[in-house]
Amino acid sequence: MKRVLMVSFQFPPMAGTSGVQRALRFAQQLPSLGWSPSVLTAHPRVHPQTGEDLMAEIPADLPVRRAFALDAARHLAIAGRYPGFLARPDRWHSWLLGAVPAGLKLIRETRPDAIWSTYPIPTAHLIGYWLSRLSGLPWVADFRDPMAHDGYPSDPVLWRSFAAVERKVFAQAARFSFTTPGAARLYAARFPAAADRIRVIENGYAEAAFQQAEHASRAAGPVDAATAGKTRPLVLLHSGVVYPDWRSPARLFEALAAAKAEGCVDAARLRLRLRATAHDDFVRALAVTHGIEDLVEIAPPLPYAQALTEMLRADGLLLLQSADCNDQIPAKAYEYLRARRPVLTLADPAGDTAQLMRRAGLPHQAALEDGAGVDAVLRRFLDDLLNARAPLPAPAAVTAAARESRAAELARLLDEACASPLPTAEARP
């Protein structure tokens, strides 16, 4: 069996982000595909939110090394301020100091055939870069989101720092994976010499986790869909972060306010539940501004299994994504498919998120920023829900989104990386 060293900042006990799922599920599933993993991650002190619910899912025989790391914003700040260089390319750059020696030691102990690192923490790729250079091992760099792109990061110094990391990655890594077709196209155009080494490995859902959630849902009793909007409020759920810039529900709240003013909805018939927004004050103020605080429920985070159970029991699910993020797909979108509930998608029809949901047979869509479009699709969606005619995700799309198939794609990519020559010193930055 071949071995791979996985470098991931997001790993249990980190909580509050679905990003933990990608590395964890790959680590669970790769052994059945001929790859034995070990994991290099950061000390739990750096995570603002931790939880024990996923710790039990770490395989007992999986070597996990938690290297020294600090959060500049919490551990290195004085009176809430810290020098900017301590947070470039990210607030956890100190992880590099602990992870490189820890990673080299783990390489000596486990003798991996390849290295895999995953962004959205740029330092993870810097660790992968140095471990690959120092060990001579082939490296696969995984991008869950694009790094330096138009308008992000907004700080030009930080943007240049991100761009510098990208150049290192594309000079050293043997293969590159992205979670969406749009991001893969973006980087193929940016680094054309590497275009033939770029692959798409989408996010997905964990079937075992959903089976556990279904068991919990059955134990809680059946959900009577026929009573939704009649003897109890219909529940429309958004599960996860609501970014003020990229997932703002402003146009949706305007549409709800209009529907409420016309008597089409009220608190007895509809509850919009926003779970674990990470920006509760922003959402609450927006609801008050539009006079719909009686329709909007702002709910705290749940352990992962309970969050899945809530998706299964919701009457409908809400997906938010701005046109600025057309090359990205929220990881929760795949869990929404597996939950097999009707989905209201507020995302640019030309973007990857809307296209994924259309391929799954989910037609209720409008651009997040299009007020008139959001108003129209919201009314159609609620009417279809109340009359039990809202379509569910197509079975073939649900099956295709399972993380098991994604792990098989990663195993093939690791095989490719091991079979390819390493970059020459002249090609490196």
- Read off the pLDDT of residues 219-273 as tens digits, 9 standing for 90 and up: 998 887 778 777 899 999 999 999 999 999 999 999 999 999 999 999 999 999 9
Cβ contacts of residue 139 below 8 Å, gap of 6+?
A: 114, 115, 116, 117, 128, 129, 131, 132, 172, 173, 174, 417
* pLDDT tens-digit readout, 65-101: 999 999 988 998 887 888 877 889 999 999 999 999 9
Of 299, 249, 295, nearest to 272 (Cα)?
Answer: 295
Residues 248 and 370 both lie in one domain? yes
pLDDT at 423: 65
pLDDT in tens, 95-119: 999 999 999 999 999 999 999 999 9
Write out the H or E segment, with its range, that includes residue 207: helix 207-219
- Confidence bin at 383 (pLDDT 50/70/90): very high
pLDDT per position as a tens digit, 125-180: 999 999 999 999 999 999 998 998 888 888 999 999 999 999 999 999 999 999 99
pLDDT of residue 427: 44
Q: Domain check: are 315 and 276 in the same one?
A: yes
Are 221 and 349 members of one domain? yes
Question: Domain with 105 in it: what CATH number?
Answer: 3.40.50.2000
391 in the same domain as 419: no
Between CA 4 and CA 14, with CA 8 as vertex, the angle to 5 degrees is 135
Q: Which residue carries 């619910």 as its tokens? A: 53
Q: Domain tally for the chain?
A: 2
Q: Which domain holds residue 290?
A: 207-400
Residues 49 and 187 grouped into a single domain: yes
Together in a domain, 249 and 151: no
Same domain, 150 and 216: no
Q: Check whether residue 226 and residue 116 sit in a common domain.
A: no
pLDDT of residue 388 exceeding 50, the answer is: yes
- Statement to judge: residues 141 and 28 lie in one domain: yes
Same domain, yes or no, for 105 and 60? yes
Q: Does residue 280 share a domain with residue 198?
A: no
> What are the pLDDT digits (tens) for 307-358?
999 999 999 999 999 999 999 999 999 999 999 999 999 999 999 999 999 9
Task: Tell me how far apart the alpha carbons of residues 26 and 114 are, in angstroms, rounded to a whole number.
Answer: 14
Is residue 112 located within the same domain as residue 213? no
